[in-house]
Amino acid sequence: MIVFYALSWFLVFGLLALWSLAAWALHAVAVWSVSNASALTGVTSGVEGLRLSQLVPPWVPPEIAQAMTALLAGFAPVVESLLQTVPALTSGLTMVTWVIWGLGSALLLLLGAGLHLVIAMWRRHSGGFSPQPASRLTA
């Protein structure tokens, strides 16, 4: 029965290691993309040259397509300013990552404690593999 305890905790610690690796990898990708977001501002400047009327089907009235093009062109400066301020969010992203990692780790440890209790209750219910008293062995 001790083996079941060891296997359950080995499973929990394995899941905790995978959770930590996933949190680290996603944090690294997120920080990299946030820190390089200002380099992407050149992409939004091409909105003015976009002719939406060429991309929409022929059944859409040209007035609506022109209005949408003007709307997109008006959002270009806003998107550029947001992309330039995004690198400042890196420290907040680190804090959010640590909080999410901590919550997930606590849940995994609670899972381990629950498995431990289930194994203990199962062992108690089934009688376990405890040695028989000497009086029963001789009879």
Q: What is the pLDDT of residues 8-33, one digit of tens each?
A: 999 999 999 999 999 999 999 988 88
Contacts of 38 (CB under 8 A, 6+ apart): 83, 84, 86, 87
pTM for this entry = 0.58
Alpha-carbon span 5 to 114, nearest angstrom: 11
> pLDDT tens-digit profile of 95-132?
999 999 999 999 999 999 999 999 999 988 887 555 55
Q: CA 78, CA 81: separation in Å to the nearest integer? A: 5
**Residue 89 buriedness (CB in 10 A; 0-12 / 13-18 / 19+):** middle
Biggest CA–CA distance in the chain, Å, is: 100
